[in-house]
Structure 1
Amino acid sequence: MKAQSLGSVRKSFAPWADPAAKPFIRFEGLTKVFDGTAAIDDLNADIFHREFFALLGASGSGKSTLLRLLAGFEVPTRGRIVLDGEDMTGIPPYRRPVNMMFQSYALFPHMSVAKNIAFGLKQDGMAKSEREDRVADALKLVKLENYGRRKPHQLSGGQQQRVALARSLVKRPKVLLLDEPLGALDKKLREETQFELTDLQYELGMTFIMVTHDQEEAMTMADRIAVMGDGKILQVGTPPEIYEAPRSRFVADFIGTVNIFDGTLVARDGDRLTIETADGHPIEVDGNEERGGALQIGAKTAYAVRPEKLRISASPLDGPNVMSGEVWEIAYIGDMTSFHLKLDSERIVRVSMLNSSRESAVQMTWGERAWVSFEPNAGLVLSA
């Protein structure tokens, strides 16, 4: 029988869209105050069984505090956490059905790698033969099969982090908490481990909650992403929803790279809007009924469009939303080239072009005149 690809399984996985689905984890009015400042501020969110959920935000946004509250290492000031139908209030960390991989590794220096990984299993009284099998599987997962006898100080930082990951996975808890789990790995190994983690999460039927500041990591691994700021969840959605349909200027600007044109709504023709930008460039917009429908003529607004939605040319372009300026910066990144175009208004517009052939299709250099354009439905209307 032909195996089903994980991609097709994840594509159909969307319990949050089912009104009858019961959340596996629920944060209810959760607040945590340190020295008079709310690190978590009246937060409400649902996470579902078998979901890979990412908490994404800048330093100080509250994502690690939220993880520690779920693990039981911090006590809420107000609110509660419900896990698999059970209120976690007052339940100590060692009695919670969760395991956490710490960003600081927290390995026992006097124990071998294998004994570090097996420590929790031994504490639980698991038989030696089963422990050894579990440890062998965990070592294979993180590509450290031949390192079981070494001590932590004999490993590189990246290898130590992989041991910490293996130790967190080996007990197969109901919920695995990952605090910046892949930060010390090199790029190639990090990319490989991302897919291995998502495969393992599905195979074991576990719920993963990951804290990360790495947007690409969150987009690659998570079923849904919660973007956090100032102790609040600003938006929860699938990676395409977060990237293509941000609900606020903050989320649009935080996720990836974006051009945001501030302006005023000056005309409406059905669902076609005209925005006069502060740079003096009129922007024709359509396909934004949901965001633009409530705007009145004269309203201040903003239009967000991603760099890859723009096209760039060394000769004049026809059609709507054409702008021109000087090529200010060029960055060849391998799979794509990034251009910074400086308009006559001094504004910088960012454009990304896929390098689909071995020779760049656009032959331009610094200081030359260039033109960019984008379709009316390429971006999104935001509140100003």
Structure 2
Amino acid sequence: MKSLGSIRRDFAPWLDQAAVPFIRFEAVTKRFGGFEAVDDLSLSIFEGEFFALLGASGCGKSTLLRMLAGFEAPTSGRIVLDGEDMADIPPYQRPVNMMFQSYALFPHMSVEKNIAFGLKQEGMAKGDIAERVEQVLKLVKLEDFARRRPDQLSGGQRQRVALARSLAKRPKVLLLDEPLGALDKKLREETQFELADLQYQLHTTFIMVTHDQEEAMTLADRIAVMDKGRILQVATPAEIYEAPNSRFVADFVGNVNIFEGKVAAATGDRITIATSAGREIRVASEVPVVAGQAVSYVLRPEKLRISAKPLAGPNVLEGEVWDIAYFGPVTSFHIRLDDGSTVKVAMVNATRQGPLQLTWHDRAFVQFDEDAGLVLTQ
């Protein structure tokens, strides 16, 4: 079995049935009064993995991270790290370190003293501290900023100081709670690749909490999509995007068109769906279905073609250009179909002045191949 899409390296222990997980959440539940933040959740994470917990605010992802760190205790279930049950291990004795979104740097201390603080608290020898600080400063490329205070650094530099401080104690697991949320968009994009490269170099297990889909897709070897305290799907970024296991995951990650309807006919791996909008589409189905069964057909906007002229063949939809958004690499069209529904189409701007001449309120035709999308039954 192979993962869908490219993976960051020759590293996919989750496909090896003999591989032993480094971290296990076993039927973990966490309640705050009458509120269930985490609901009977089980999850395995492997050593050296960059793992992302992705979900909206309140889905339980930060609670899961805090339980692993020891800041919260599970109401039921257990957490195992490197073969050891964490139930009786206090936070300061766990082989983990957490990097917070706020960075929490000491403003009156220099960069090198911020990094050294935790090592001094552990009683490390002065010479060893100096050597360790020098190592991590080099790792995050801040050797020339060792004597500066946090207020003399840019946001990206402060982020790297916080990362260096977290890594200085050489934890087995680094926990990142929205680590790039305080950075502006361009700096965040640059830092994502730096963080991924650093994790690959160290081969330390990273677990990141984020609500940013792009961040999770860029950084993680695998992503767990969460909602209401439960994990809905665990897979590689490409699998989450191209093969979501439910309507919720398809709709949550990236843009998507969703056609609801019932199976009108099924022949082999090809089915005809009578959509709720009153049209029929013919598509490939990887799941067995029967006539009359309710299904959803999910289709990413970039899988459709758009034209100002009528198109021949199956799965042609016609409507009016309702909205246009130019993003540089891609132009996004919202086409209001004659039944009142809307289809989203993304067109790559492969040339500086593309041949497509469509503007607001023009008639437009869109088409998709039978195997362009995915049939879902849940």
- Structure 1-normalised TM-score? 0.93
CA distance in 1, matches of 2:234, 2:6: 22
SS in 2 for 1:181: coil
Question: Aligned-pair distance for 1:172?
Answer: 2.2
Aligned to 1:230: 228
Aligned to 1:319: 313
Matches within 5 A, 1:221-260: 221-260=219-258
Maintained 8 Å contact 2:156/2:191: no
CA distance in 2, matches of 1:8, 1:28: 29
- Of 351, 372, 376 in structure 2, the residue corresponding to residue 378 of structure 1 is 372
Aligned to 2:180: 182
Query: RMSD of aligned C-alpha atoms?
Result: 1.8
Question: Aligned-pair distance for 1:310?
Answer: 0.5
Question: Aligned-pair distance for 1:158?
Answer: 4.6
- Of 293, 297, 307 in structure 1, the residue corresponding to residue 291 of structure 2 is 297
CA distance in 2, matches of 1:65, 1:38: 11
Q: Does 1:211 align with 2:209?
A: yes
Question: Aligned-pair distance for 1:129?
Answer: 4.1
CA distance in 1, matches of 2:31, 2:171: 29
- Of 279, 293, 310 in structure 1, the residue corresponding to residue 277 of structure 2 is 279
Aligned to 2:60: 62
Aligned to 2:29: 31
Q: Does 1:338 align with 2:332?
A: yes
CA distance in 2, matches of 1:190, 1:104: 15
Question: Aligned-pair distance for 1:346?
Answer: 1.2
Question: Aligned-pair distance for 1:270?
Answer: 1.4
Aligned to 2:130: 132
CA distance in 2, matches of 1:241, 1:55: 15
SS in 1 for 2:107: coil
Letter in 2 for 1:339: F
Gaps of 5+ in 2: none
Question: Aligned-pair distance for 1:113?
Answer: 2.1
Q: Does 1:349 align with 2:343?
A: yes
CA distance in 1, matches of 2:354, 2:131: 52
CA distance in 2, matches of 1:211, 1:324: 41
CA-to-partner distance for each residue in 1:87-110, whole Å, 9 max, x for gaps?
Answer: 000211110000000122222233
CA change 1:132–1:189 in 2 (3 A) is farther
Gaps of 5+ in 1: 1-6
Aligned to 1:22: 20
Aligned to 1:100: 98
Maintained 8 Å contact 1:158/1:186: no
User: How many pairs were matched up?
Assistant: 374
CA change 1:145–1:188 in 2 (3 A) is farther
SS in 2 for 1:252: helix
CA distance in 1, matches of 2:162, 2:136: 10
CA distance in 1, matches of 2:80, 2:151: 39
Q: Does 1:79 align with 2:77?
A: yes
CA distance in 2, matches of 1:218, 1:63: 13
SS in 2 for 1:111: coil
- Structure 2-normalised TM-score? 0.94
Identity %: 70
Letter in 1 for 2:58: G
CA distance in 2, matches of 1:64, 1:190: 20
